[in-house]
Amino acid sequence: MIVHTTIASPVGPLLLATSDDGMHLIEFHSPRHPMRRDAHWQEGDNALLRLARHQLDEYFAGKRHQFELPLAPQGTPFQCEVWHTLAAIPYGETISYAQLAQRVGKPSAVRAVGAANGRNPLPLVLPCHRVIGSDGSLTGFGGGLPTKHFLLRMEGALAESADLFTAPA
């Protein structure tokens, strides 16, 4: 059984979904790749949803830089490897898609790494927003570029004067 709830956040409503295995999903209001829901999904509350809500509140308040939640993302082995690698990107830092591909051990698979990054079911916790273009520009993000810009500025990875659509100088 997957239990889900929607919470308010500074970047809009977030759908959180958990099971006994861990966190399955954090989904923005208008996701590019929504997770399929079936009869095993039920709206409700549980201890893990409350813990996730609390940690997300701390994150948005600037008090949490790392999440401590049991995770259960569903994906291919390659996607899971990419998602696991995202967890090692420190708060307030960014890397390029090419650097992410190198960290995964597949330096020529930049597009495949980008596609896996784009299907990350646990954004914020597995910080795909910290992956940017090699020229420093903000590129695709499931929560939208304004959300990515907000998150990176909140974390101090972008200067206050950074423009949303251009690479930093």
Q: Which amino acid is at 115?
A: A
97 and 151 share a domain? yes
* Measured distance CA(168)–CA(161) in Å, rounded: 9
**80 assigned to active site:** no
How does pLDDT run across 28-69, given as a tens digit for each residue?
987 676 667 777 889 999 999 999 999 999 999 999 999 999
160 falls in which pLDDT band (50, 70, 90)?
A: low
Q: Which of 25, 128, 138, 154 is catalytic?
A: 128
Range of the domain at 30: 2-60
* Measured distance CA(19)–CA(4) in Å, rounded: 9
In a domain, 95, yes or no: yes
In a domain, 133, yes or no: yes
How does pLDDT run across 62-102, given as a tens digit for each residue?
999 999 999 999 999 999 999 999 999 999 999 999 999 99
In a domain, 141, yes or no: yes
In a domain, 143, yes or no: yes
**Backbone φ and ψ of 151, nearest 5°:** -65, -45
CATH code of 134's domain: 1.10.10.10
* Measured distance CA(37)–CA(164) in Å, rounded: 33
88 and 24 share a domain? no
Number of domains observed in the structure of the chain: 2
Percentage of the chain beyond pLDDT 90 is 79
* Measured distance CA(77)–CA(142) in Å, rounded: 21
In a domain, 167, yes or no: no
Given CA atoms 109, 111, 117, 121 in this order, what sign does their dihedral have? negative
Q: What is the mean pLDDT of residues 145-150?
A: 93
150 and 85 share a domain? yes
In a domain, 160, yes or no: no
